Amino acid sequence: MSCASPVPCPTHLAPGGDAASGPGFDQELAPQLAHLFAAISQPLFATDREGWLTAYNPAAAELWGWSPPLRATRWCGSDAIFAADGQLLAPEQYPVARALAEGQPIRGVDIVARRRDGARLPLSAHACPFRDAAGALLGAVVLLLDTSGQRQAEARARAAAIAKTRFLSAMSHELRTPIHGILGLSELLAATAAEGKRLGAEELSWIEDIRASGQHLLGLVDDAINFAQASVAAVRPQGPRRSTLLG
């Protein structure tokens, strides 16, 4: 992904307007806010209380694939937002719109953002409204986290679970055949011994069949153990990674 400009995208912070001129907002904080936005490596943007874009960092511009004009772009810079199931969301269903309408944080909403080039990116959206000292709503700030790696891991885990179920079903059938053979031949040998007969060529062949069935059964058990070990390795969770929130 790249920004529309060939040079590194600056942090966009709109001067004036609702969010900046509302009661309790300190204009002297604007430079510090710009530095804060730029320091965060995850896509971050802010809107006024009407949802008009007032600030965003370079990561957000990179995510969107362009640098949208401030106070002329509403809700976000994505071309469209979809729910996790692929359903197109109306603007009032966007996490930022919900946070502004409900006046409370909206955390961990799985969405899919579509860039202007058509690419779709799975994200976890965290939107939080902010207020002035008197409690009046000024706007909202939104943090977007890339969940593509998590979704790929979940897909691999689902595929592994399906493969395991199919394997165990087939293994159950394969195990029954040699077990029945071993039990049947063992009963015949026991009956022959009970009659006091010496083992002849036929009885000796039964012993060979028992041995072969036992080896086949042992091979199936080894296959099951190897498969179980491979399944555990495939879905073993990764250790915690250092947060990249601040670069």
What integer pLDDT is reported at residue 19 of this predicted model? 39
Q: What is the DSSP string of 54-113?
A: EEE-HHHHHHHTS-PPTTTSBS-S-SEEEETTSPBPPGGGSHHHHHHHHTS-EEEEEEEE
What integer pLDDT is reported at residue 228 of this predicted model? 65
Distance CA 210, CA 178 (A): 8
> How far is CA 58 from its chain centroid?
24
**Tokens, residue 152:** 């790929």
Taking the model in full, what pTM does it have? 0.57
Sign of CA dihedral 78, 80, 85, 91: positive
Distance CA 200, CA 212 (A): 19
Kindly provide the b/e burial profile for residues 67-79, where b requires at least 16 CB atoms within 10 angstroms of the residue's own CB: bbebbebbbbbbb
What integer pLDDT is reported at residue 101 of this predicted model? 97
| 99 contacts 106 by C-beta, under 8 angstroms | yes
Per-residue pLDDT of the chain (247 residues; tens, 9 = 90+): 333 332 334 566 665 444 344 333 344 546 667 777 878 889 999 999 999 999 999 999 999 999 999 989 999 999 999 999 999 999 999 999 999 999 999 999 999 999 989 999 999 999 999 998 899 999 999 999 998 866 666 667 777 777 777 777 777 667 777 777 777 777 777 777 667 777 677 777 877 788 777 777 777 777 777 776 666 555 554 444 443 433 3
